[in-house]
Structure 1
Amino acid sequence: MKWLRAGPDGVAGALIWVTMLTSCLLGTKGIKWLALAKMSSVASIEVPEMCKSLVGLAKRQEKICRRNIEVMESVRYGAHMAIDECQYQFRNRRWNCSTVDPVKLFGNFLKLGTREVAFVHAISSAGVAHAVTRACSKGDLQTCGCDRTVNGKTAEGFEWSGCSDNIGFGTAFSQKFVDARERTRSSTQKKSKNIKRVLMNLHNNEAGRKAVEESMQVVCKCHGVSGSCELKTCWRSMATFRDIGAILKERFDGATEVTLEQSNTRSVLVPVNNQFKPPTRSDIVYLVPSPDFCESDAKTGSLGTSGRVCNKTSKAIDGCDLLCCGRGYETRTVTVVERCQCKFHWCCYVICEKCSRTVDEHVCK
C-alpha cells in the first residue's frame, strides 16, 4: 500500500477508490458501521481523510476514526469476526444471520427490536472489543500494549508475568465507537418513541462487552528443571471469539423481553413479565417477539427457509420438520469431494488424495 503514502495524488486516489467501495456498502439502520466488514483487507484505512468516505459511520464515529486511525483496521476486523460468528452460531436455525447482499447487509431486518437483532448488537460490540484488545497484545497499536497493571506475586504462589490482554482498553474503545450512534440518538430523542430502541441497543452493546470481560482466563507456564514447575508465571488472556459467541448465543436463548418504564427522571427497561428479575448488564434484552422466518418477507428482512439444507433425522430446529416449517422437503443426490489417505512426509508436509462419495441431501421446499 505504498501508493497511499506517495503524496497528495496517492491519497486522492485512495479516497476515490474507497469512496467507490463504500458507496456500495450502505449499512442498514441500527449498525451501519458493520459495512466495514465488507471492505477488503487490502483497502486498509490508513489516512484520516478516508474516515469521511466510510459510508455508515455516524458523525461521532467519523471523529473517532480520524483521531484513532490506527485502530480502525481492528474495528474492520472486529466487524468481520462478528458477522462470521453470528452466521456460525445460527447456521442451523431458520434465521441464519445471512447478509442479504453487500449493499444492504441484513436488509430491513435490523429495523426490528427482536432477540436476533439484540444478538447482532451484542456480537458486534464484542467483536470490536476482542479485535482491539488482541491488536494491543500483538503490539500492532502504538496507543496501547499489554496490561501492565497485572503484576506481582499472588497468594496462590505464582507470579504475574507475560503479556496480559489489555481488556480495559479494548472494551473502552468498543464502548466509545460502537455506542456513538446511539449516544447521539439518545441525546436528541429523549422525548421520542425511539428512546426505547436506543436503550435496547445500548444495553445489548454492553452485554457483548461483558461477555468478553467475563471470559477472561488465567493462563500459566511452568519453569524449572524437567518441567518441575519450581516457578509458575501466569497472565490473563481472552477466550477465543468462538467461545464468546457461544456465551452470547446461550444468553440469546435466555433473553428477556422488556418494555420502557419511567423511573423518577429516567427511562429504564423492565421485564414485560413482572415475575422476572430485572436484566443484568450481561443479559440480552429485546422489545418484540420474533417472526417465524418461514417465508421470505422484505418488510422484516426474512429470507425464508426455502432451499435450505435440513437434517432428516434430527428432531431439533435443524430437522426438516421444523426448519422447513411443515412445507416438506426434497431429496437429491450430490457428490462430495474430500481429502483422504493423507500421508506425512519428512520434513514437513502432508500429501492427500481426493476421494469422492455420493450422499443424499435434503432441501426445504
Structure 2
Amino acid sequence: MSVPWLRGFFLWLLAAPHAVLALDMWWNLGLQGYEVWRNPQLYIIGTQPICTQVEGLSPAQIKICQHYQDHMPSVSRGAQMGIRECQWQFRHRRWNCSTVDDSSVFGPVLEIPSREAAFINAISAAGVVHTVARSCRDGELSTCGCSRRPRPKGLHRDWIWGGCGDNSEYGYRFAEGFIDAREREKNHPRHSNGLARTLMNVHNNEAGRRAVFMHSKVACKCHGVSGSCSLKTCWNQLPSFREVGDRLKDKYDGATEVKFNRAGTRLVQADKKYNRPTKEDLLYLSLSPDYCLANDKTGSMGTTGRFCNKTSPGMDGCTLMCCGRGYNTYRTVVQERCQCKFHWCCYVKCKTCQREVDVHTCK
C-alpha cells in the first residue's frame, strides 16, 4: 500500500478533527489500521467516539460502528485483505490496484463505474465476510461464536459434525448490513451516476460476499489409534482468500456491461446475446480507460517505468503493458538461494548465489 497505516492514521487524527464524507470509502479503515480500535485510549477523543471521526463512514455505518465496536478490528482487517488481494491479482495488469496517499484509498478510479470499481467493491465485501466469520470462530466477538450450519447431506454417518467452524453465515449477514448501509441511505450524498451506480454497487457487494459464503467447504480432522482415521470430526471452513480472489478475478474478466431498463428501475444487460448474469457475477456501467498514460481525472498512473516480460504474449508482456511505446532493457544482479541440500534431520541448507539478469521497463 502507498502509506504506512499507523503513521497515516495519527497524522490524520491530528490534522483532521472533522471527517469529510466521501463515496465508497469505508475501506479507508484498512489503511488506518485495525489496532487503533483495540486501544480504549484512542477510542474516545474528548467526548467524540472514534466512529464519528473515521473518514469514509456514512451516518448509518457510524451507528453500526458504535453498536458493534468489537467488530471494527475485523472490518479493518477485511479491508486490508481486500486491498492486498486486489494488488496481487492485478500485479501484472496496466491497472495494478494501486492506492493513493489520501483518504479516498483508490483515487478517482472509483468515480468511473467500470470493471475495476466492480472488483474493488466485491473483493472488499468478501474481505469483511472472511475476517468477521473467522473472528466469530476465534471468540473475538460478543454476538457470535462457532458456525451453526446444519450437518451437510452426504457426510459419512459415523463422522462427527460439530467442530468449531468459521461462522460464514454471521460474517455474510454483518457484511451485508454494514457495507450496504451506505447504499440504502436516502439522505446520504449519492453517486454521480445516481441510482444506476447504487444498484451496481449493491450487486457487486453481494457477488463478493457470495464468493466467500457460497464456497465454504467441509474440513475434517482424523482421530484414531496411530492415525488410523477410524473417526473424523468435521466443521465448516472458509475458502482461502486467495481462492476468493482468484474466483472474483475470473468474474472481473467475464463481467457484464449493464444499463437501465426503459422504466429506469433496474439494470439489464447492454448486449442480450450474452448469458444473463447471476448474483455471483460482476456488473459494470462504463468501459474502462486503457490506463496507458498517467491521468489525474481517471486515476490512471500509467505504465511508464513498470516492469514487463519481454517473452510474454499476455498483459504482463512488454507489448501490451507498454501500450506500444517500447521498453528499456538493463542488466542487474540478483541474489537467490542455490545448491540446497537436505540434512538429516531435519533442515535444508542453501548457499546464496548471484547471477545477472535482463530487466525490462516500459518507456
Q: Do they superpose with TM above 0.5?
A: yes
SS at match of 1:198: helix
Residue 229 (str. 1) matches residue 222 (str. 2): no
Q: Does structure 1 retain, via aligned residues, the 8 Å contact 2:21–2:57? A: no
The Cα shift of 1:308 comes to: 0.3
Question: Residue in 1 aligned with 2:6?
Answer: none
| Aligned with residue 281 of structure 1, among 279, 282, 286 | 279
Q: Identify if the C-alpha distance between structure 1 residues 303 and 18 changes in structure 2 by more than 3 Å, giving closer, same or farther.
A: closer
Question: Residue in 2 aligned with 1:38?
Answer: 31
The Cα shift of 1:147 comes to: 1.2
Between 272-281 and 118-127, the greater mean CA deviation after superposition: 272-281
The Cα shift of 1:226 comes to: 3.0
Q: Identify if the C-alpha distance between structure 1 residues 131 and 27 changes in structure 2 by more than 3 Å, giving closer, same or farther.
A: farther
* In 2, Cα distance between equivalents of 1:188 and 1:23: 20
The Cα shift of 1:285 comes to: 0.3
Q: Does structure 1 retain, via aligned residues, the 8 Å contact 2:21–2:58? A: no
One-letter amino acid of the structure 2 residue matched with residue 160 of structure 1: W
SS at match of 1:337: strand
Q: Does structure 2 retain, via aligned residues, the 8 Å contact 1:216–1:236? A: yes
Question: Residue in 2 aligned with 1:60?
Answer: 60
One-letter amino acid of the structure 2 residue matched with residue 173 of structure 1: F
Q: Identify if the C-alpha distance between structure 1 residues 338 and 306 changes in structure 2 by more than 3 Å, giving closer, same or farther.
A: same
One-letter amino acid of the structure 2 residue matched with residue 211 of structure 1: A
- Per the normalisation by structure 1, the TM-score is 0.86
Q: Does structure 1 retain, via aligned residues, the 8 Å contact 2:17–2:53? A: no
SS at match of 1:332: strand
Question: Residue in 1 aligned with 2:336?
Answer: 338
One-letter amino acid of the structure 2 residue matched with residue 100 of structure 1: V
Q: Identify if the C-alpha distance between structure 1 residues 42 and 170 changes in structure 2 by more than 3 Å, giving closer, same or farther.
A: closer
* In 1, Cα distance between equivalents of 2:16 and 2:198: 26
Question: Residue in 1 aligned with 2:267?
Answer: 269
- Per the normalisation by structure 2, the TM-score is 0.86
Residue 210 (str. 1) matches residue 210 (str. 2): yes
Q: Does structure 2 retain, via aligned residues, the 8 Å contact 1:256–1:284? A: yes
Per-residue displacement from partner, 1:61-104 (whole Å, max 9, x unpaired)? 11111100100001111000000000000110111101122444
Q: Does structure 2 retain, via aligned residues, the 8 Å contact 1:151–1:159? A: no
* In 1, Cα distance between equivalents of 2:306 and 2:209: 32
* In 2, Cα distance between equivalents of 1:57 and 1:104: 12
Q: Identify if the C-alpha distance between structure 1 residues 27 and 201 changes in structure 2 by more than 3 Å, giving closer, same or farther.
A: farther
Question: Residue in 2 aligned with 1:87?
Answer: 87
Question: Residue in 2 aligned with 1:246?
Answer: 246
Per-residue displacement from partner, 1:297-353 (whole Å, max 9, x unpaired)? 111111111100000000111100010000000001122233455677899887765
* In 2, Cα distance between equivalents of 1:278 and 1:23: 46
* In 1, Cα distance between equivalents of 2:112 and 2:346: 52
Q: Where do 5+ consecutive residues of structure 2 fail to align?
A: 1-8
* In 1, Cα distance between equivalents of 2:347 and 2:50: 43
Question: 1:134-153 alignment to 2 at 5 Å?
Answer: 134-151=134-151
Question: Residue in 2 aligned with 1:179?
Answer: 180
Question: Residue in 1 aligned with 2:72?
Answer: 72
* In 2, Cα distance between equivalents of 1:227 and 1:156: 18
Question: 1:157-172 alignment to 2 at 5 Å?
Answer: 157=157, 158-172=159-173
Between 294-303 and 337-346, the greater mean CA deviation after superposition: 337-346
Q: Identify if the C-alpha distance between structure 1 residues 152 and 332 changes in structure 2 by more than 3 Å, giving closer, same or farther.
A: closer
Question: Residue in 1 aligned with 2:321?
Answer: 323
One-letter amino acid of the structure 1 residue matched with residue 26 of structure 2: W
One-letter amino acid of the structure 2 residue matched with residue 184 of structure 1: E
* In 1, Cα distance between equivalents of 2:220 and 2:134: 18
* In 1, Cα distance between equivalents of 2:208 and 2:189: 25
The Cα shift of 1:275 comes to: 2.4
Question: 1:340-359 alignment to 2 at 5 Å?
Answer: 340=338, 353-359=351-357
CA RMSD for the aligned pairs?
A: 2.9
The Cα shift of 1:161 comes to: 2.0
The Cα shift of 1:278 comes to: 3.0
One-letter amino acid of the structure 2 residue matched with residue 319 of structure 1: G
Per-residue displacement from partner, 1:109-154 (whole Å, max 9, x unpaired)? 1000101110000000001111111111111112211013435996
* In 1, Cα distance between equivalents of 2:287 and 2:312: 25
* In 2, Cα distance between equivalents of 1:152 and 1:122: 27
One-letter amino acid of the structure 1 residue matched with residue 356 of structure 2: T
Q: Identify if the C-alpha distance between structure 1 residues 246 and 153 changes in structure 2 by more than 3 Å, giving closer, same or farther.
A: closer
Q: Does structure 2 retain, via aligned residues, the 8 Å contact 1:18–1:53? A: no
* In 2, Cα distance between equivalents of 1:315 and 1:25: 49
One-letter amino acid of the structure 2 residue matched with residue 293 of structure 1: Y
* In 2, Cα distance between equivalents of 1:311 and 1:19: 39
